[in-house]
């Protein structure tokens, strides 16, 4: 085993390649109208895959590119996952999570849920989250929060929003007030809209940070969590999404993006983890992120990644100004590729000058 590159990690698991919605912004590669052959991950296959990486598992997040709840045997997957960790999360569109299903999943071992809601206004939500109805999602959210309030204080219920180009400080404020104060969600998380591999709202981070300051001024102490705020328990910080990802067919990759471009490390149903960790591209990827020598060429697995087109990962890595600046070698800053973190940094630099 190549032990240098094996360490405790968050593991993302994709339970199915099917989704029941057709959100107009979603670039996930899943079957909605049957364009792909439907494939659910079975609990037997999950057991095989997890057993091979068991020494590295800190916690498991069921998410994937599609909708976890579409897999009717999700509770069986959760029971299997529980043999490897007590920290189990689900990221969902919230449409299929009724009271019975929530109870079942909690009983099986889920203790962290994230609802992707994206907008608090019914007309806007229903227009972008095609086939969903905000009233149904909110009812399901309400029921889950009720379960938490009635004796399951350990349950985390997060609400996630994509920041769209037409969002404003005010619309984001209304969102936070509705779900954090009104519904009592445990966390609110934001991420920017990504279209064809590009972050559409370059100053989203600045907007999010301003929003948090404004809310603090109003006496609302909300810690607006990071992009991809899964309950990470990983020791080594990589790009901001440092984890292992297993897709519905058992393919392993460093993050969910490779579900779409097919750049996987290997397949845990067909290969041993030892074999996978000895592959050149596996080593190249880990050596880059472990070395912190960011001026070196970006590993082939991460080429063209939208995260590296802005500077959000520098913000999350939080490991020293000069070190972070080495990323500039890969980026064309003159062409306004910077996201909010850079915008703030440039503001500060220009003020200092």
Ligand X SMILES: C[S@@+](CC[C@H](N)C(=O)[O-])C[C@H]1O[C@@H](n2cnc3c(N)ncnc32)[C@H](O)[C@@H]1O
Residues of the shown chain interacting with ligand SF4 in the complex, contacts defined by CB under 6 A: 19, 21-23, 26, 28, 30, 66-67, 93, 239, 241, 254-255, 257, 301-302, 305, 307-308
Residue 319 CB, shortest distance to ligand X, in Å, is 25
CA dihedral angle for residue 63, residue 67, residue 71, residue 76, rounded to 10 degrees = 30
Options 62-70, 275-283, 297-305, 316-324: segment touching ligand X (CB under 6 A): 62-70
Q: Which helix (H) or strand (E) holds 140?
A: helix 134-149
Nearer to ligand X, 91 or 207 (CB): 91
Q: Report what 162 binds from ligand X, ligand SF4, none; CB cut-off 5-8 Å by kind.
A: ligand X
Nearer to ligand X, 52 or 202 (CB): 202
Site string for ligand X, 74-93 (x = CB under 6 A): -----------------xxx
Coil, strand or helix at 59: strand
317's tokens: 């890595």
Instruction: For residue 81, give the nearest of 153, 167, 14 by alpha carbon.
Output: 14
Nearer to ligand X, 90 or 276 (CB): 90
Q: Report what 91 binds from ligand SF4, ligand X, none; CB cut-off 5-8 Å by kind.
A: ligand X
**Whole-number Cα distances in Å, 35 to 18, 19, 26, 179, 247:** 10, 12, 15, 35, 18
Q: Among residue numbers 109 through 138, which ones bind ligand X (CB under 6 A)?
A: 116, 118
Phi, psi of 198 (to 5 degrees): -120, 140
Residues 307, 291: Cα–Cα separation, whole Å: 19
Residues that bind ligand X (CB under 6 A): 19, 25-28, 63, 65-67, 91-93, 116, 118, 160, 162, 191, 193-194
């Amino acid at each position: 085993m190549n032990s240098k590159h094996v360490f405790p990690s968050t593991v993302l698991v994709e339970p199915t390649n099917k989704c029941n919605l057709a959100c107009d912004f979603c670039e996930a590669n899943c079957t909605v109208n049957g364009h792909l052959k439907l494939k659910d991950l079975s609990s037997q296959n999950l057991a095989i895959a997890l057993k091979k990486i068991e020494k590295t598992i800190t916690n498991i997040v069921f998410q994937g590119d599609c909708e976890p709840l579409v897999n009717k045997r999700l509770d069986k997957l959760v029971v299997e996952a529980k043999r490897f960790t007590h920290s189990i999360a689900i990221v969902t569109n919230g449409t299929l999570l009724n009271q019975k299903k929530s109870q079942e999943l909690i009983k099986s071992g889920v203790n962290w849920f994230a609802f992707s809601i994206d907008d608090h206004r019914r007309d806007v939500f229903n227009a972008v989250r095609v086939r969903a109805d905000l009233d149904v999602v909110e009812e399901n959210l309400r029921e889950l929060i009720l379960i938490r309030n009635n004796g399951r204080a350990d349950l985390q219920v997060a609400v996630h929003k994509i920041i769209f180009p037409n969002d404003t400080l005010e619309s984001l404020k209304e969102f936070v007030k509705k779900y954090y104060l009104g519904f009592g969600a445990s966390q609110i998380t934001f991420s920017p809209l990504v279209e064809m591999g590009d972050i559409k709202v370059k100053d989203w981070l600045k907007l999010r940070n301003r929003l948090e300051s404004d809310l603090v001024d109003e006496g609302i102490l909300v810690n607006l969590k990071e992009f991809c705020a899964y309950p990470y328990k990983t020791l080594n910080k990589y790009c901001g999404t440092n984890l292992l990802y297993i897709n519905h067919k058992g393919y392993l990759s460093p993050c969910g993006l490779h579900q779409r471009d097919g750049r996987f490390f290997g397949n845990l149903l067909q290969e041993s983890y030892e074999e996978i960790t000895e592959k050149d591209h596996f080593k190249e990827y880990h050596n880059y992120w472990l070395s912190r020598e960011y001026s070196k060429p970006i590993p082939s697995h991460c080429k063209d990644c939208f995260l590296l087109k802005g500077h959000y990962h520098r913000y999350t890595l939080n490991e020293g100004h000069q070190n972070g600046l080495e990323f500039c070698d890969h980026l064309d800053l003159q062409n306004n590729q910077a996201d909010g973190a850079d915008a703030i940094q440039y503001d500060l630099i220009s003020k200092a000058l």
